[in-house]
């Protein structure tokens, strides 16, 4: 079966896809919560994964019943993450090759919940910044994932219709955002932070490492999206 419309673009998430940074976010949030006499649980972290910094900070305020504003929490977390990135900036295995492999065939976009002040220097250090024709950061949208806003902005900046794009995500909120935006979805599964089963079911293709991300996987994700939308 052929895809109704050729895939023109692949849009990458960053945290957990290009950067092995979910552990760093978990550490930053746990350490921050502990400094305030609170406990940040795995369930709390799962709820915040994929959201932008503002949304994740609002979740922290609500779940930990903090008297601080979400804006203050966001600034505090940004500082902690910048320090962690300065000490160690881990690329996911195969990320650089995967981006360059996809760039040879598709137009690339980035849709990350991380703010520009954190994400852009990280991408520059990895040598990936110029690989993306469009980059949308978490502080450029009013609603973080699972809202489709960030993916709709990314494909609009690429001048590509959602039906001609596929996204690569690791989080449940990211997969929900892709589904709501109408893109095909590829799930990159990290055993340490697996998406919820109902969100994982939204992905047309499931991968366990970026070495398996190729043109065939992208086309299969688009076919799965088309089949789902036709039923």
**Active-site residue list:** 13
Give the burial string for 39-77 (b: 16+ CB within 10 Å, else e). Answer: ebeeebbbbbbbbbbbbbbbbbbebbebeeebeebbebb
Q: How many CB atoms lie within 10 A of CB 22?
A: 20
Q: Which of 148, 155, 167, 162 is nearest to 207 (CA)?
A: 167
CA-CA distance, 186 to 198, in Å (whole number)?
A: 14
CA-CA distance, 99 to 129, in Å (whole number)?
A: 11
* Degrees to nearest 5, angle at CA 136 with 131 and 137: 110
Q: Which of 82, 31, 87 is nearest to 53 (CA)?
A: 82
**165: β partners:** 9
In this structure, are residues 91 and 14 in contact, taking their beta carbons and an 8 Å threshold? no
- In angstroms and rounded to an integer, the radius of gyration of the C-alpha atoms of the chain is 17
């Amino acid at each position: 079966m052929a895809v109704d419309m050729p895939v023109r673009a692949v849009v990458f998430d960053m945290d957990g896809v290009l950067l092995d940074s979910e552990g760093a976010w978990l550490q930053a949030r746990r350490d921050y919560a502990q400094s305030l006499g609170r406990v940040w649980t795995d369930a709390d972290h799962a709820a915040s994964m994929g959201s932008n910094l503002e949304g994740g900070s609002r979740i922290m305020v609500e779940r930990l019943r903090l008297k601080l504003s979400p804006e203050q929490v966001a600034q505090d977390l940004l500082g902690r993450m910048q320090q962690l990135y300065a000490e160690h900036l881990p690329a996911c295995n195969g990320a650089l090759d995967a981006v360059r492999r996809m760039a040879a065939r598709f137009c690339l976009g980035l849709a990350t919940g991380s703010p520009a002040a954190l994400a852009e220097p990280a991408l520059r250090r990895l040598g990936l910044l110029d690989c993306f024709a469009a980059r949308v950061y978490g502080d450029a949208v009013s609603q973080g994932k699972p809202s489709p806003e960030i993916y709709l902005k990314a494909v609009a900046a690429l001048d590509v219709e959602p039906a001609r794009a596929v996204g690569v995500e690791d989080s449940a909120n990211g997969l929900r955002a892709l589904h709501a935006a109408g893109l095909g979805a590829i799930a990159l599964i990290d055993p340490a932070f697996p998406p919820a089963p109902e969100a994982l079911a939204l992905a047309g293709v499931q991968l366990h490492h970026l070495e398996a991300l190729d043109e065939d996987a992208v086309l299969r994700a688009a076919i799965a999206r088309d089949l789902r939308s036709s039923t």
